Every structure is written in structure tokens, then in C-alpha cells.
Structure 1
Amino acid sequence: MTINKDVINQSYNSLKYIASNRSQREKAFAITDEFNEYLKNISGKCIDIGCGPGDVTKDIILPALDPNAIVIGTDISENMIDFAKKTYIKEKRLEFDVLDIQTKNLPTKYVSEFDLVLSFHALHWCNDIKQAFENIYRMLRPNGIMLDVNKYTWPLRNSINPRKQLKELLQTLGFTVIHCSHRDTFHQDSNTDRFFSSIMAFLDFIDHMPRDHKEEFKKEFTHKFAETQIIYKQKNNQKIALDTYRILIAFAQKHVT
């Protein structure tokens, strides 16, 4: 029997990500709970952009919607999507597909197709955030809504007022902004390596680096990451890692012409 090492590595990366994405799951649950009144009434077709291995899509997003809603999870990573398809093959209301949300050629099958577009902690990876939001606007049906949560949006990293800038960008594209906030948040964990591991699991390009570059990158990344953490001890001397960061949340509706 021939063992396909690529398949093993793909599954391993996805499982490793799921095993360490506690923070992502907690924040996704908190946001779906905050916007519960809107989400529970959506019974149409929905899309989750940047779904990764699909566990958040299946466990958190799907239950937050009307029981008749259908969700398509998309991600730029073929490895993640292959894993999600195999893992959730029996879910009748769930599909998965590869999609780069920054594409200049949005597939016709996505145009004016969705009542809801969600993206949790994914669009901050985009280099062309304007193109991403343009595609999202095109993907929505009239009166369709978008819920986006970003840990860090690259084009807005040096903005004095990122909330205002994001809101103006969405309005320029034709969105009616229902909610837009820029807030401090945090994640604490007794496993000081778990949050770091979830990030490393997502950076699958590391596997394609030369060995010496890979080790150098990990060492530097580990050092920079450690600088952002606050480590404190509880009464039982158990170490707790506190990671603080800021997120942008946008909830917007496609303008009806």
C-alpha cells in the first residue's frame, strides 16, 4: 500500500489548527450571540469566507441561523477545504469550496447569490481589502447583509481612526452600515502555547520554506509573539497567558437600487 504523505500532512495541519483554535471559536460564538436577533431569522443561502477546516462554520455559524439556511464555507487554502469536505460530507446544509475573496474575476456562481456573507478573523490577511469588499458586495442579493470580524486589517494598520475609515469604505461601495466598531478584546489561556500554535498552523507556507529559513522564521516569530503576551500566575502558581488585541466589527446591508 502506498502512503500519500501530502494527504497526511494536509489532515495534520487541519487537525492541528482545530486543536488550537479555541480563541477563534470563542470570539465567533460571542459575535453570533451579539447579533443573534438578525442571524436567527436568516433562512436563505449564506457564505462563510475564510472558513479554514470548517469547524466554526459547522459548530457555531450553522446553529445560529434559521434551520432552513444553507451555508457554503470558502477558503483560499485547498488543504483546508479538502479536509472540511471529507469531515462534514454528511451535513446536508453545508458545502465547501475554494475561493480567493480578493480575486479580480469573481465566479459567476457567486454573484447576487447570498442573503448573508460572514467572515470571522480572515479578511485581515487580504492585501487588497477594497477588492475583497467589492466582491462581497457583488455576492449579496438586494437587502443581503454582511458580518465581518477582523483581528487586524492590513490596509488600516496605520489608520488614526480605522473604524471611520472602514465605515467610509463600505459606504463608498454602496453598503448601508448598520454597525461598525473598533474594540479592545483579549484571550487568556492556561496553555501558553495554544494561541501561538493556532497561528502557526494557519501559516502553511512555512512548510515550503528551506529548513534554515523555516527555523529562523519560527524563532523570530516566537520572539515577537512573546513580546505581545502578558504572563501571570494564579494562586496555585499556574501560568496564564493573556493576549490583548483590537478587532474591527462591521455589520452592513447591500443598498437596494
Structure 2
Amino acid sequence: MEDAQLYASANAMQKRDALLVLTEFLPQMAWQEEGEMILDIGCGSGDVTRNLLMPLLPRVEKVTGVDLSHEMVNFASKTFQHNSLAFQQLDIERVIQPRQVFPEGFTKVFSFYCLHWVKGQENCLTNIFQLLQPGGETLLVFLASNPLFTMYEIMSQKPQWQQYMQDVSNYIPSYQHKTDPVQAMVDVAEDVGFEVLSCEAPQFEFVFENINYLKNAIKAVSPFLKRLPQEQRETFLMECLQELAKLKTCRDDGKMAARYHLMIAHFQRPE
């Protein structure tokens, strides 16, 4: 996900789901009168942070968006400037002593469509726990399972693509093959020290209006595409679409639909 401009133009599913979840959960959160210190983990191109999250927040003192990708952070900083908003690079899984990076910590931590890329779930949640002030809340929204990842596993077995996808397991969500992903998530959160306010993994569906939009959506998030020779990338993308069609993603009207389970976790750091 290094093409920030492409991601910003092809993330309608992510934006729709973030809006749905925020609309439901923001009223359930406790909000301070003096304003909040907000962190958005995996801010990507910054459009969700600036145009969706910030306008919905009741009271804000400062919002910080962090992302693993320097390119995404640079794009977000240039494109979505605001006097209450800052972006910086941070690896939430591997950062050591995150309160040295953010000494004041945060009252709320959000993350949308990021944590399915994180293999070290316990490290990640531990760092979020440390970044939260006592009594602070976190709302984490990410893919528990998605046919996209099944497609990657299938593609990685094909001789033509195998050499570029030998580490495919690193890009499969931790909960993709869990029989009870919610309980697995709750277990990790409680081990870290969180109070679990709610955790669920409902099924969602998103319909792509045309095949080109779906292709761009895959292109925007594929960790493998940049490894391929330029002349093979279009073939790879078309094969990805063919494999997704075999996974019953095609509707009766011919449109492609993503049917997936979305992990929605609302935790609190005890006082």
C-alpha cells in the first residue's frame, strides 16, 4: 500500500464501514468536557482521519494519525493539513516503549482497516494499552476474514506467482482461519489488561459497481504487486479477479460483491 493517491480513490468500502461503526459506537463512549487526545492507527492516506473521523468527534484537542508507510504519512501531511491534526510514521506492532514517542498518551485510540496486517496481535494491543491514559477507550475495526486473503493463498500456489508470494502467510489475518475469532481476540485483549466492553465479528457485504473499481481496490492494497515485473502486473490482477469470482463473489446481476467478517472491538484501559 505505497500508492497513497490510488488508495484514497479506491477505499470506498473502508470508508463506508468506518462510518457505520463510528455512528454506532461514538455515542457509547465517555467524552471529556476539556477535549480529547485522539490517535488513529493505520491512517493511510489520511482521508478517513480528516474527513470522516474528525467531523464526528464530539470534543477534540488534538488528533494524531500514524502509519507504517512513510509515503502515506507524507501524502496525508500534505493533503489533509489542519491545525488540530498531525501525522507521523509509527509501527504500532514493533515500537518499543511507545509512551516515549507520545509522552502524554491518548484518551481515545481508533484504528480502521489496519490491524489485519499485524501478525503480532499481542504486541500491538500491548502498545495500544500503553498509549492509552487510564480510563481511555479504543475502537478497533479490521478484517477478521475476507475472500481476498483466500485468493492470495490460492495465487501463491501457482508456479507463475509462487516466487513473489513465498511469504503469503505474513499477509493473512491472524483470525482468518480461527473457528471463533471473537474469543481469540478477547483472550489477547484480556491478557494485555483491557476491559472488554464489546467484541464482535459480524458479516458485511460491499458491492463493487464495476470490475475496474474492484481491480483498483485490489491494486491499492496488494502487498505483492510491486514485486512483480511491470509487464506481468496486469495479468496478475486479472487472475486475482478470476479467482475471486470462483469464490462466489459474483452476484446474480453480474456485479462483484465482497462478503467478509469485520472485527469490531471496543476496549477500555482500567482506571
The 10-residue stretch of structure 1 (145-154 or 102-111) with the greater mean CA deviation from structure 2: 102-111
Q: Which position in structure 1 is the counterpart of 2:18?
A: 28
Distance in 2, matches of 1:175 and 1:40, equals 16
Matches within 5 A, 1:18-97: 18-38=8-28, 41=31, 43-89=35-81, 91-97=82-88
Distance in 2, matches of 1:243 and 1:205, equals 20
Distance in 2, matches of 1:225 and 1:193, equals 14
For residues 109-163 of structure 1, give each alpha carbon's deviation from its aligned partner in whole angstroms, at most 9, with x where no partner exists: 2356011111111100012111111111111100011100111362222222111
Distance in 2, matches of 1:141 and 1:178, equals 16
Compared CA separation, residues 139 and 202, structure 1 to 2 (3 A): same
Quick one: which of 84, 89, 94 aligns to 1:103? 94
Q: Which position in structure 2 is the counterpart of 1:182?
A: 201
| 1:172 and 2:191 aligned | yes
Residue 203 of structure 1 and its aligned partner are, at CA, apart by 3.0
Distance in 2, matches of 1:115 and 1:224, equals 43
State the identity %: 27
Residue 102 of structure 1 and its aligned partner are, at CA, apart by 0.9
Q: Secondary structure at the match of 1:232?
A: coil
Matches within 5 A, 1:145-224: 145-152=137-144, 154-203=173-222, 206-211=225-230, 214=233, 217-224=236-243
Number of equivalenced pairs: 239
Indicate if the aligned counterparts of 2:144 and 2:181 stay in contact, CA closer than 8 A: no
* One-letter amino acid of the counterpart of residue 250, structure 2: I
Distance in 2, matches of 1:49 and 1:62, equals 14
Distance in 2, matches of 1:40 and 1:219, equals 47
Distance in 1, matches of 2:215 and 2:202, equals 22
Quick one: which of 242, 247, 252 aligns to 2:257? 242
Residue 255 of structure 1 and its aligned partner are, at CA, apart by 1.9
Q: CA RMSD in A?
A: 2.2
Distance in 2, matches of 1:60 and 1:183, equals 22
Compared CA separation, residues 242 and 216, structure 1 to 2 (3 A): closer
The 10-residue stretch of structure 1 (197-206 or 186-195) with the greater mean CA deviation from structure 2: 197-206
Distance in 2, matches of 1:254 and 1:135, equals 12
Distance in 2, matches of 1:165 and 1:39, equals 24
Residue 213 of structure 1 and its aligned partner are, at CA, apart by 6.1
| Stretches of structure 1 lacking an aligned partner (at least 5 in a row) | 1-9, 234-238
Residue 32 of structure 1 and its aligned partner are, at CA, apart by 0.5
Q: Secondary structure at the match of 2:218?
A: helix
Distance in 1, matches of 2:212 and 2:138, equals 33
Residue 86 of structure 1 and its aligned partner are, at CA, apart by 0.5
| 1:231 and 2:231 aligned | no
Structure that is richer in strand per residue: 1
Distance in 1, matches of 2:103 and 2:126, equals 11
Q: Secondary structure at the match of 1:255?
A: coil
The 10-residue stretch of structure 1 (48-57 or 109-118) with the greater mean CA deviation from structure 2: 109-118
Compared CA separation, residues 40 and 191, structure 1 to 2 (3 A): farther
